[in-house]
Amino acid sequence: MNMVAVLSVPLMIAYDQLVVNTVNGAVKDYNVTASAGDKFNLAKPLTYVSFDGLRIGAIVVTVILIGWAIWQSKRENTARSEMTASEPKVPTGSRA
C-alpha cells in the first residue's frame, strides 16, 4: 500500500462513531489501570463529526492525490524496468 494513503486516515476517522468511541474508551480504560506516571492523555479528545462540505472536499482531494501517487508509482516501476532491460549484460568470471 502506498504510504500517501496513510495521510487520509485523520481526515476520515472522525466520521465513524464506533472508532471515536473505541479510541476514547481505550484511553479511559488504560488510565484506570495505569499507574500515576504512566497515564495517557490525548492532545485533543477525538469527537464524532457529522458530514460537512469542507471535510468532504478535503477527502475528495486526498483520494485524488492517492490515486495520482499510485499511478506515479506504477509509472516509475515501468520506467525502471525498461532501464534495467536495456542495460548491456557484462559477462562475469570470463577471462580474455
The model's pTM is 0.47
pLDDT top residue among 30 and 80: 30
Domain ranges within the chain, ordered by starting residue: 3-82
Q: What counts of helices (H) and strands (E) characterise the chain?
A: 3, 0
CA-to-CA dists, residue 43 to 23, 24, 50, 68, angstroms: 13, 12, 21, 32
Query: What per-residue confidence (pLDDT) applies to 17?
Result: 84
Contact present, 91 and 44 (Cβ < 8 Å): no
Query: What per-residue confidence (pLDDT) applies to 85?
Result: 63
**Residues 24-75 pLDDT 10s:** 888 888 888 888 888 888 777 788 878 778 878 878 888 898 888 888 877 7
